[in-house]
A and B are shown apart, each in its own frame.
Chain A
Amino acid sequence: MIRFLLNETLVELENTPSDTTILDYLRGNHSHKPDRKTGTKEGCCSGDCGACTVVIVEPKNDRLNYQTINACIALLPALNGKQLITVEDLAEGKTLHPVQQAMVDHHGSQCGFCTPGIIMSLFAFHHELPESRPEMTEALGGNLCRCTGYQPIVDAANEIAKLTPSDRFKHQEQETLQKLSALKSQLDNSAAGVFMPNSEQELADYLLKRPQARLLAGGTDLGLEVTQQLRELPALVTLTSVTELKEVTCSHQVLTIGSAATYRELEPLLASYFPDFARMLSRLGSQQIRNSGTIGGNIGNASPIGDTPPVLLALDAQIELRKGNNIRSLPLEDFYLGYKKTILEESEFIARIHIPLQSHQLKVYKLSKRYGDDISAVLAAINLELNDKGLVTKARVALGGMAEIPKRAMACEAALMGSPANPETLRQAQEAIRSEFQPLSDVRGSSDYRLQAACNLLERYFLEMSGHTARIIAHA
């Protein structure tokens, strides 16, 4: 059974299939139940517009942590043991919640269809701790509005940023924490079509028995199979409560990241080691996606346009795979075999990523048509080391969007190795990129553009090494 708090009411789902999206559940699209909650809207059903934004609440450091997600692609197991808050829950009678009132006061809605999602993003933003509160534009970057041009929403958000939360949710925080804690002790590890292990061992054992079960972590990609390809996912296994896989540790000069750590969790942790990596993460997807999506998912998905694999390749990351009790570690570049094909065996899962903490000069460049919430046309992660004579002693150039897999530019690296960091070396390294990559032309960019941009990003790296740090895009 899946158990969660819908606002303040305990909901127990016995028979609802676990591949039901939260949005379909709320709106009663499958059940035709009379108590549909239709405040949450469907705009795209692909996690790209934010009209369906709802807030998931769970305890974190003895406080409540409010996170936005896209209800259109999130599946019901994501709710297990948590509180779900939707736009209907904010006002108290006729008194609007402060974030709602700010939006009204600033004329922040026109057609109103994106507004419930924006309200929920503002609500989560309102409840962020000041020390970890993201930029307002980051918090709202995943909410498309076609009417207002965003200015009144920015005005409303700026007003909200000044307020200290003192709403019903804040006043009832202790009570809610208790309820959630009580709920946690009653949780089942299975429900209709899903197994929800609480430990890595349970997960490993289950996958041996049920190799066909689909791993559900953030679900930002798997959810699309349900909503866009109309697939049924009758056997799911979730990683949400496998705490070992969410851990990030550092020992013996190796940073170890659990595969189920979300982008949002990783961003502050990576900031001190790899600032450019962390900055890029703030542009990966939207806040809703960053709150759900995991690094293991980004790797295992094996998409040629995933943003973290090239960075991990440039950092010589090792990937730890587990099958039953067998654990193997290999360089990430050996993980990818071809388009959407990996070395992962049946019943095997990505457990951890290990990044050696050596000195580095990592720069990450994410190039996309739109600044925010867009998939990269090219992602370049470049990491060169120079000796005191100015010769390149180590070269890692990894590119996304340039081949059928995230790929190191081996010829380019070879051209750089041992050479002085000068224009002639740059030219040869760029030529090497042109010789070893034949990128596709697609909706995000032509083959020529990708090649030229990749070469120019290498030029940018050279410019930055020599102190020309002019980038428009402050982030990555």
Chain B
Amino acid sequence: MRKLPDIATTRISSKTAKHDSAHMHVSGTATYIDDRPDMAGQLHAGFGLSSQAHAQIISMDLEAVRNSPGVVMVVTADDIPGHKDIGPVYPGDMLLADGKVDYVGQPVFAVAATSHLAAKKAAQKATIKYQPLTPVLGINQAMQEESFLRPEHVMHKGDANRAIAEAPRRLEGTMSNGAQEHFYLEGQVASVVPLEDNQFHVYTSSQHPSEVQKLVAEVLGIPLNKVVADVRRMGGGFGGKETQAAGPACTAALLAYKTGRPVKFRIDRLQDMMSTGKRHPFRQSYRAGFDNQGILKGIEIEVAGDGGYSPDLTDAIVDRAMFHSDNAYYLDNAIVTGHRCRTNTASNTAFRGFGGPQGMLVIERAMDDIARATGLDPLDVRLNNLYGIGERNVTHYHQTVEHNVLPELMARLEKRSEYRKRRQQITAFNRGSPVLKKGLSMTPVKFGISFTAKHLNQAGALVHIYTDGSIQVNHGGTEMGQGLYVKIAQVVAHEFGVGLEQVQVTSTRTDKVPNTSPTAASSGSDLNGKAAQDACQKIRDRLIKFAAEHYQEEPENIVFSDAHVHMKERSIPFVELIQAAYFNRVSLSSSGFYSTPEIHYDREKAQGRPFYYFSCGASVSEVLVDTLTGEYRVERADILHDVGRSLNPAIDRGQIEGGFIQGMGWMTTEEVVWDKEGKLLSNSPATYKIPTIEDLPTVFNVELFEQDNPEHTIYHSKATGEPPLMLSISVWSAIRDAVSSLSDYRVSPDIDVPATPEKVLRAITKIKASDQTRALNKMETVHGVD
């Protein structure tokens, strides 16, 4: 196995390749779709949105829309020549509402006008009459009314009920988490250019260009080979552009088809937040049996995800929540049930972690609850329950946890973060501080890597070498800021032993690499890196064969490095070999392909190996809570995260820091709020608060746990996209720890996610009024008298 040269882990290093677009980002020259020049006849699209959560459309009067200045075309579901449904896996996602609306903000009709503003103004002029129907709002109502998108799924191992009944101690708890808005800085956008012979070029800000291509073709009723989807970069995705970028792309395509003119559709922030889905809210509950060391003997877990009005990816998201409801802990006897609720909101969708975070929350809550019940330090309860090495290592879906790095990783972080010392200091601080309370928590992450839909674990790439020795690579992955392009360029440069500047990664296009999977599930570099390597190796094998014959050398003596080809008798510049190969009619282009080995999952039996490997990490968060207002600050965070042999430490660090802060937002201030009629209230950054620079932990230590991935991933690296988000669970747990201090750590407070200051104050009020705390205060008073 070839490896990249060792890469220094310092932040700034000449060996640490920068993001390929960095110099363009900082100078405003990186082109996003809305930055593309207008074409002759350019039109701009706008949506008319539903004002009702659930209703039949009785009539739609769009005359005023049509007559509005600048309007060229107005379309409804009736104007769609092909499929009206753009559901990615199961049916249910209507491109435009067809007689019925299922949430406030659902696109009902679309307009093409001569300017963005003209389209927006026109769309406001519709008169739509509705016959309201009763909406289902929230998980509780959906569970009560059995409003489901898909059947439930159950995973089980051993006899959970018996193990719980026979365990020395038992506990149960119920909690919930809210939605999370992606808040990609660049909103949903697409631009479609009609070409000759009914062909369409679709510029889309999508994590899944192949799906956009397919859905545009289906909506227009034309074959897939008529459509090219093209993605240079997204201004952020985070899962929000995996399926839901298709809506604006298909709508722009429909309007381009109808008008024969280029149509751009940029959805502004308010409509984006109203019309697109978010991270799934979940309700989680557990019933656990454990011993006096807090070690789980058996557990019953139930998770219910709110999928919104259509299936979208909810089935796989709830599955992943179930797969991760153990997080890093051996459950022994377990039964895990997952429900997929149907409610009248926008269709909730992929978001970094894809259900994993929601699953982990419940077991992390159980760990804290067990700690309060047993009086153990929550970290000890966690360490006692970790998956073992060689024993206690089979999950509730019967995958064996191999190469478990967490015992070592957590021990290292415990030491580096001085957890034990700080625990003592914090307990002492809290005794002497009546108003401000500190909390501390260390939580692990074990995140399964692979799409749980097996067929998606494949990738393609296309590599060309030109006669000046410059190399162009195209692959199925998309760039949304995560640095995939530079990682792929590094792979290609390494395979040919040339400098990074010799490699150009071009925009992701369905006509270069077909039938690609979404850039999702943290799989971008694992899959596409391997596919690019495969393409390079095919060309390299040809070059070696050619060089061996041409220069009369032994193939095993031919090495590509330093932009040269080294042979036993001679070394020639890379470009010289390329030109010689060209003159001798050797192909300098190849596709590459990769499919992840060994993975399988039998859904009937709920058994298998859905994950090729696990990416792990741990974090320690310290918070300071104001018991008068519920406000808090994250004072310090220490992270140690497993990246395998990092392809690019700077890029990986960026994923870890960014994922943690994004998760911290969800744990704290990012609250998605609807009114009683199902209308989204937190519909702009004025009312939906993602972290700012002022929320960064005062001390933020991030280190990479670099150790080769024993599996045959690209240069033994590990996926880093999603897992760090879940490191932020320690922030939530630390807030609960601080509040628990009010009861001298006897009560485990109920604080749902996000733990807004309001929820924290509510928990503080409750805990102050609880019997245990009152007894405690009484005791202290008595001691005071003594």
Which of A109, A119, A369 is the one whose CB lies under 8 Å from B669? Answer: A369
Inter-subunit contact A39/B25 (CB<8 Å): no
Closest beta carbon of chain B to A38's beta carbon, Å = 4
- Give chain A residues whose Cβ lies under 8 Å from the Cβ of B685: 43-44, 46, 48-49, 144
Which residues B266-305 have CB closer than 8 A to chain A?
268-270
Residue of B nearest to A230 (CB): B121
Contacts A111-B235, A113-B236, A372-B694 given; indicate if A443 touches B687 (C-beta within 8 A). Answer: yes
Inter-subunit contact A149/B696 (CB<8 Å): yes
- Give chain B residues whose Cβ lies under 8 Å from the Cβ of A470: 433, 435-436
Contacts A151-B702, A369-B671 given; indicate if A51 touches B185 (C-beta within 8 A). Answer: yes
Which residues B432-470 have CB closer than 8 A to chain A?
433-436
User: 1/0 per position for A262-284, CB-CB distance to B under 8 A?
Assistant: 00000000000000000000000
Residue of B nearest to A455 (CB): B628
- Give chain A residues whose Cβ lies under 8 Å from the Cβ of B38: 32
Which residues A347-392 have CB closer than 8 A to chain B?
365, 367, 369-375, 377
Stretch from A86-94, A185-193, A334-342 contacting the other chain:
A86-94
Contacts A38-B28, A111-B234 given; indicate if A44 touches B684 (C-beta within 8 A). Answer: yes
Inter-subunit contact B661/A149 (CB<8 Å): yes
- Give chain A's interface secondary structure class: loop
Contacts A32-B42, A369-B756 given; indicate if A148 touches B25 (C-beta within 8 A). Answer: no
Inter-subunit contact B481/A111 (CB<8 Å): yes
Give Cα distance in the complex from A137 to B124, angstroms: 39
Closest beta carbon of chain A to B71's beta carbon, Å = 15
Which residues B212-253 have CB closer than 8 A to chain A?
233-238
- Give chain B's interface secondary structure class: loop
Inter-subunit contact B121/A46 (CB<8 Å): no
Give Cα distance in the complex from A153 to B628, angstroms: 33
Give Cα distance in the complex from A114 to B700, angstroms: 22
Residue of B nearest to A450 (CB): B758
Inter-subunit contact A45/B236 (CB<8 Å): no
- Give chain A residues whose Cβ lies under 8 Å from the Cβ of B25: 103, 109, 112, 115-116
Asked if B18 lies at the interface with its beta carbon under 8 angstroms from chain A, I say yes
Asked if B585 lies at the interface with its beta carbon under 8 angstroms from chain A, I say no
Inter-subunit contact B270/A228 (CB<8 Å): yes
User: 1/0 per position for A453-476, CB-CB distance to B under 8 A?
Assistant: 100110110010000101111000
Give Cα distance in the complex from A119 to B42, angstroms: 31
Closest beta carbon of chain B to A91's beta carbon, Å = 5
Closest beta carbon of chain B to A14's beta carbon, Å = 20
Closest beta carbon of chain B to A282's beta carbon, Å = 10
Inter-subunit contact A41/B700 (CB<8 Å): no
Inter-subunit contact A43/B185 (CB<8 Å): yes
Inter-subunit contact A107/B682 (CB<8 Å): no
Give Cα distance in the complex from A450 to B269, angstroms: 29
Inter-subunit contact A154/B184 (CB<8 Å): no
Residue of A nearest to B661 (CB): A149
Asked if B573 lies at the interface with its beta carbon under 8 angstroms from chain A, I say no
Closest beta carbon of chain A to B667's beta carbon, Å = 13
Inter-subunit contact A472/B631 (CB<8 Å): yes
Inter-subunit contact B758/A151 (CB<8 Å): no
Inter-subunit contact A449/B696 (CB<8 Å): no
Residue of A nearest to B658 (CB): A149
Give Cα distance in the complex from A41 to B266, angstroms: 12
Closest beta carbon of chain A to B624's beta carbon, Å = 5
A39-B29, A109-B22 are known; give 12 further A-B pairs, CB within 8 A.
Answer: A41-B235, A87-B26, A104-B22, A115-B26, A116-B26, A141-B694, A147-B236, A148-B658, A230-B117, A369-B757, A444-B687, A472-B624
- 8 closest A-B pairs by beta carbon, nearest first, are A39-B28, A111-B481, A113-B235, A112-B25, A149-B661, A110-B481, A48-B685, A87-B28
- Could you pull out 21 A-B pairs where Cβ atoms are within 8 angstroms? A39-B27, A101-B26, A104-B23, A107-B650, A107-B651, A111-B235, A146-B182, A146-B185, A146-B238, A147-B481, A151-B702, A152-B657, A154-B696, A367-B757, A370-B695, A443-B671, A443-B682, A456-B761, A460-B435, A472-B631, A473-B633
Interface residues of B (CB under 8 A from A): 11-12, 18-19, 21-32, 34-35, 37-38, 42, 115-117, 120-121, 124, 182-187, 233-238, 268-270, 433-436, 480-483, 624-626, 628-633, 650-651, 653-654, 657-662, 669, 671, 673, 681-682, 684-687, 689-696, 700, 702, 756-758, 761-762, 765
